Amino acid sequence: MKNVVPIIVSSLLSAFLAIFLYRFFEKPQELIIREVNTSYTVGQSMTSSSTFISATPSSFTKASEIVTPAVVNIRTQAQNRFDFWSNNSAGTSSGSGVIISEDGYIMTNNHVIEGGASIQITLSDKREFEARKVGFDPSTDLALLKIEARNLPYLKFANSDSLRVGEWILAVGNPFNLESTVTAGIVSAKGRDIKILEGNYRIESFIQTDAMVNPGNSGGALVNMAGDLVGINTAIMSRSGSFEGYSFAIPSNLARKIIEDLRIYGEVKRGILGVEIAEVDNRLAKKLGLTQVQGVYIKDTSEGGGAAQAGIMRGDVIVEINNTAIKTVPELQEYVARFRPGDTIEVGFIRKGKRQNLKVKLQKITESSDLASFSIAPNLLQVIGLEVRNLRQEEKKRLSITSGVKVISIYKDSPAEKANMEISFIIEKVNEIPVANLEELLAAIELTEDEIILEGSYENFSGKYLYRIPIFLQE
C-alpha cells in the first residue's frame, strides 16, 4: 500500500504538469458545430437548408367547414337513368347539389334531376324547399335549379386549370339526407374521356380523383384545400356500382360557363370551330413528323365554318388555344366549350412541320339539313345508336364517290358500338340497297325486320367493310 500511494501522487502531478505546459505553449481553439437542417424542398438538393413545406395538409377541417353548409340533398320523383347513382325508394331518386349564390341558385348533374316531376331540396340545416328547373345541358350533364331563399351559404368557383396531378382535394356530397359527407383524395389525372355521355356535341374532360364517391354524391362538390369549387362530382368507374378507386368530376371552368348560360339565356350558347377531329397517336405523329405524340388532328373542316374561313385545313394539328397547350381531344373540346358563338380564339397549330397561329371566330351550332335528327326517325337511328349526316360535296370529290352517309357519332353500348363500327364510317349500302342520302338510308332501314347489314368504307382505310346489326323496332 505504501508503494502504491507514491505512484498515484506522481501520476496526478505528471497530468497537471502536462496540462499546464499545453495551455502555456498552445493557444486555445474555438470549435464551431453548424446545425444541419436535413429537410429540403422538392426539386432541391438534399444538402439545401431550405425549410420543407409538406403538401399534405395537417387537417381538412377548415375546408370542410366552408363547404358542407353549401352542399344540399336533391330528391326527385323520377327513376334516374344512371341507376348506380340513385337511391330509389318509393319512386324517388336522390343526389346532391351545390349552392352557388346567396339567392338560391343550385348546380347539379342533369342526370340527377332528369325527368323529375318535382324536385325537393334539403339544406344542411334541414330546411326544405321546392326547386324549379332553370335549365339543363345533357352534353355536359349539368343542370341549374332555383329555390326561393336568401342569405344562403354558397361556394366560389376556383380555376380548375390550376389543379395539378397529385394535389389534395375533397369530395363533398349530401346523399340520402344523411347530411354532408366529406372524403379526401388527390387529383389522379385530368382531361379524362370515359364515354358516358351521348350526342355529337358531348363534352367529357373530367378531373379524375381517388376520393371515395358513392351513390348519392352525384352533383356534389369537388373542392381544393381553400374550400373553393374546382369540380362537380359526376361519375365513378365501377363494375359493382360502388366506389372502386376512380371518380370523375366536371371541371369548374367549364361548369361556370355552362351555368352562366343557363341562368342568363335558359340554354347553352356553344361556339364551335367547325372541324372533325381525332387524337394524335404514335403512328400519326410519325407520319406527320411531329416531335411529340400530342395535339388534335384535323380530319376535315366544315364548309363555311369558322376554322375553314380562318384558313385552318385538313391535316393541321392543333397544339394550342389562346396560349394554352392542347394535348388531347377532350382538352380541346372543353376549352372551346367555354366560349360562345361570335367569340374569337387564337389557334396554334402545326402544318407540315411548321408552327402557325390563326384567329378563328366561333360559330353557333345549326340544325343543318345534312344532319339526321331523332325527329326524323325516332325509332330507327336511336335503336341502332348512330348519328349520321349527308356527305358534303368536297368529301365526295375527295373520295371519288357520288353518294353516301357519314357516321358522326356512335352511342355507348349501342348495337353499332357492339358491332365494332367506328366514327367516320361512310354508309354506302343497307342490306345491299345503295343509299345516296339520309332519306334513302332511313327508307332502307324501315324495310328491315331483324338485321341490318351496313356496307361502306373509311376514308383512311382501303377496302369495303360490313357490319351486321340486329334490330328490333317497336311499332
d(CA 224, CA 167): 8
Task: Strands of 138-244 (E only): list them.
Answer: 142-146, 168-173, 181-192, 206-209, 221-223, 229-236
Other C-beta atoms within 10 Å of 156: how many?
13
Residues 6+ apart with CB under 8 A from 99: 70, 71, 72, 105, 106, 152, 153, 154, 155
Active-site annotation holds for 343: no
d(CA 421, CA 386): 10
DSSP state of 234: E
Cell numbers at 381, concatenated: 337511328
Q: What is the CA radius of gyration of the chain?
A: 32
Catalytic residue among 86, 139, 141, 302: 141
Catalytic residue among 94, 218, 252, 414: 218
Active-site annotation holds for 50: no
Active-site annotation holds for 218: yes
Which 3 state secondary structure label does DSSP give 5? Answer: helix
Q: Which residue in this structure is represented by grid cell 339567392?
A: 103
Residues 6+ apart with CB under 8 A from 16: none
Between vectors from CA 469 to CA 370 and to CA 240, what angle results, nearest 5°?
105
Q: How far apart are the first and last CA of the chain?
A: 126
Would you put residue 241 in left (φ > 0), alpha (ψ -120 to 50) or beta? Answer: left
Buried (b) or exposed (e) across 342-368, using 16+ Cβ within 10 A? eeebebbbbeeeeeeeeebbbbebeee
Helix (H), strand (E) at residue 287: helix 282-288
For residues 209, 213, 218, 222, the Cα torsion angle rounded to the nearest 10 degrees is -40
Closest C-alpha among 149, 112, 204, 144 to residue 409:
204
Which 3 state secondary structure label does DSSP give 128? Answer: strand
Residues in the chain: 475
DSSP state of 375: T
d(CA 427, CA 465): 9
For residues 59, 65, 67, 69, the Cα torsion angle rounded to the nearest 10 degrees is 160
Burial class (CB in 10 A: 0-12, 13-18, 19+), 453: middle
Residues known to be catalytic: 111, 141, 218
